[in-house]
Amino acid sequence: MNFDAITITDIARELHLSISTVSKALRDSYEISETTKKRVLEYAQEHNYRPNPMAQSLKKGHSKSIGIVVSNIDNQFFSQVINGMESEAYSQGYNVIITQSHESYDLEVQNVNHLTHRAIDGLLISLSTETNSVEHLKKLQKQGLPIVFFDRVSSEIETHKVIVDNFKGAYQATMHLINCGYRHIAHITSSAITSVTSERLSGYKQALNDGGIKINEQYIKYCPHGGMDLNEIEQAVDELLALKTKPDAILTAWDRITTSTLALLHKRKVQIPQDIALLGFTNTLLADVLNPSLSAVQQPAFEIGRKATEMLLSIINSKRPVTEFETVVLPTELFIRSSTDKTYKPDQ
């Protein structure tokens, strides 16, 4: 706002009042007479006065904005999460500043620094797949910056967290595949260090166990870059297809991996679900109109974002330091469509 805007000083000068009188009148203080208040308010209105937020922030010691770090905004899941965050933040008079880590640890650190440079009152973060040290966040937390994790959390930092029941989501999905009659179920997932990955992996394994199916490590493929690197997924898919006993179903654990796997199977002329069934975690709105319509584990993305923000703002607005932290676990939802349908006929 380097453009000429009217300040409190201008009003004081014009109205032959002191700066403090104007300031108080503007905030409707009881100390100021009704007459003066009216004069000031009218003048302010007329000249479109807006308090300078930088001055206010400096004086008050907070910026009324919160920082967000996600891996990629260009991803249905995260953009829905951000929607929820924005909604909650705005309703409480806060701005959000969004940054992307693009699944890179270095970028994550850089973004976090950039954000704290730029005066945020709190941080909402989903870790990048590369991240296995959270020292950069620990330091900030120690300095007093409120942090709330969502989606991909760290167990090394004690704070509020919002996640989904990844174990159950993956368990239900795998169990659905088993119930449909699939026996060779592969799993393509992301970096092994990410919380989300290991929880979903456990759910997958447990379901296989409970279904009396032996776990085959060859059926589990890791894509360390979480779907950002198409080559990784391509290699994973090709390795699965090259196996003597090819899988008859694939459970993909991440949004990007799911849609990429679908595209790759297409390109290789693999019939879904006749040759291989596909079921994946994804929040795409297009699951219904994909070819074939895609069975999916969907996350309550908007609610994740909203809840995480609510928790962050509760820390920010808390009078006393917060020492009791909570981890909110939201349920996933399984949508069954054609891509896991044994009786599927391509021509509808």
**What are the residues binding DNA (CB under 7 A)?**
7-9, 16-21, 23-24, 26-27, 31-36, 49-52, 55-56, 58-61
Task: Name the residue nearer to DNA (CB basis): 33 or 179.
Answer: 33
Can you give the three-state secondary structure of 192-245, one letter per residue?
A: CCCHHHHHHHHHHHHHHHHCCCCCCHHHEEECCCCCCCHHHHHHHHHHHHHCCC
Task: Name the residue nearer to a copy of itself (CB basis): 165 or 229.
Answer: 229
CA distances from 193 to 130, 163, 223, 271, 329 (A): 8, 16, 11, 32, 20
How near is the Cβ of 127 to a copy of itself at its closest, in Å?
A: 19
Task: Name the residue nearer to a copy of itself (CB basis): 1 or 242.
Answer: 1
- Residue appearing with tokens 């993956």: 170
Q: Where are the beta strands (DSSP E) in 94-155?
A: 95-100, 122-125, 147-150
Q: Residue 293: which of a copy of itself, DNA, none does it interact with, CB under 5 to 8 A by kind? A: a copy of itself
Contact residues toward a copy of itself (CB under 8 A) are 1-5, 48, 50-55, 57-58, 61-65, 73-76, 79-80, 82-83, 86, 90, 95-100, 114, 116-121, 139, 143-145, 259, 262-263, 266, 269, 284-286, 288-293, 346-348
Task: Name the residue nearer to a copy of itself (CB basis): 198 or 274.
Answer: 274
Q: Residue 46: which of a copy of itself, DNA, none does it interact with, CB under 5 to 8 A by kind? A: none
CB atoms within 10 A of CB 287: 20
How near is the Cβ of 202 to a copy of itself at its closest, in Å?
A: 29
Q: Residue 19: which of DNA, a copy of itself, none does it interact with, CB under 5 to 8 A by kind? A: DNA
Rounded-to-integer distance, Cα 290 and Cα 280, Å: 13
Q: Residue 117: which of a copy of itself, DNA, none does it interact with, CB under 5 to 8 A by kind? A: a copy of itself
Task: Tell me the two tokens of residue 3.
Answer: 């453009």
The type of residue at 97 is I
Task: Name the residue nearer to a copy of itself (CB basis): 80 or 131.
Answer: 80
Task: Name the residue nearer to a copy of itself (CB basis): 123 or 208.
Answer: 123
Rounded-to-integer distance, Cα 172 and Cα 170, Å: 6
How near is the Cβ of 65 to DNA at its closest, in Å?
A: 17
Rounded-to-integer distance, Cα 33 and Cα 264, Å: 73
Rounded-to-integer distance, Cα 130 and Cα 9, Å: 51
